[in-house]
Amino acid sequence: MTTLVVAASLLVGVSLGVLGGGGSILTVPILVYLAGLDTKEAIATSLFVVGVTSLAALVPHARARRVRWRTGLLFGAFSMAGAYGGGRLAAYVPGTALLVAFALMMLATAVAMLRRPRRGRPKERPAHGDLPLKHIAVEGLVVGAVTGLVGSGGGFLVVPALALLGGLPMGIAVGTSLLVIAMKSFAGLAGHLSGVEIDWRLALTVTAAAVVGSLVGGRLAGRIPQDVLRTAFGWFVVVMGVFVLAQQLDTAVWAHPATWAGLGAVSAAAIAVRLRRTPRQRVQ
């Protein structure tokens, strides 16, 4: 079991190093289902693991000048405030509810990853530009609150916010997101520590493996097509999200005809939208 936990932790680090996100989306299920931790303990531990690993993954990106320090520090500061508040609030929310919320966020994140960028999206900002303070404040507080509440570092929320909404180049958005993730992960951890005890031996073991993976991922960043990685990881997150959700919801919910009717309707709508977009893209 320990071998599986260490191997999975390596994947967490690689994900952070290459994509600038995905750490907590993998870490929480690993700690719950492989390491056998309680939900809230797993969330708090994941924040420590992801915070330290993000700092390690930040180093190669910083050396390659793929970090926007002013934007990252401001975004991180606002995210820390939201993360601390979310961490304190999590103490009053049942563990099952947190895992269900976490699974739903995984699925929403996967959809965002798998969606193709729209034509006419905002242009990238010059490499020396920074985002407006009001955008940084709003996005930072929202992403931080999600981080503290459900234990997600929010990389797959930060990167789109920086790249799509803020118009930063993708490589710089990934590097900058690691700074933000580290800051708000530690803030969220501080909020959780008031009511949760951490198995530091396990936490340090998982962190060490994840750091090694992050260094490997940092070297791979830029060499592997981002679209290929995001698509593959997006489907993996879908599978993980469905698994976590299935573990938490009552069997009667999955056996109810309305559940499958709803899933069928959503799947049919998604396929219809995909087929409708494909001819337009070919014509262009």
Instruction: Say what the pLDDT of residue 200 is.
Output: 92
Cα separation, 155 vs 255, in Å, equals 34
For tokens 């219809």, name the residue. 272
Which structure tokens are listed for 216?
Answer: 């490997």
Among 20, 21, 1, 23, which residue's Cα sits nearest to residue 9?
23
pLDDT at 48: 92
Is residue 130 a contact partner of residue 70, using CB atoms and an 8 Å limit?
yes
**pLDDT value of position 203:** 92
- Residue 273 makes CB contacts below 8 A (sequence gap 6+) with none
- Residue 138, Cα to own-chain centre: how many angstroms? 18
Nearest to 160 by CA among 217, 210, 115: 115
| Cα dihedral 8→9→14→19 (10° resolution) | 90
pLDDT (tens place) for every residue of the chain, 284 residues total: 678 888 888 888 887 777 766 676 788 888 988 888 988 898 889 889 988 988 888 888 888 888 989 888 998 898 888 878 887 887 788 877 877 777 787 787 777 767 765 554 445 555 445 667 777 888 788 877 877 777 665 666 677 677 766 677 877 888 888 898 888 888 888 888 877 889 999 999 999 999 998 888 877 766 777 677 667 767 877 877 787 788 777 655 666 566 666 667 666 666 665 565 555 444 44
Residue recorded with tokens 């949760």? 196
**pLDDT for residue 122:** 47
Q: Rounded distance, CA 35 to CA 236, Å? A: 20
Query: Which two structure tokens, joined as six digits, stand for 193?
Result: 């520590």
* DSSP per-residue letters across 209-252: HHHHHHHHHHHHTTTS-HHHHHHHHHHHHHHHHHHHHHHHS-HH
Q: What is the pTM of this model?
A: 0.70
Token digits of residue 36: 């056998």
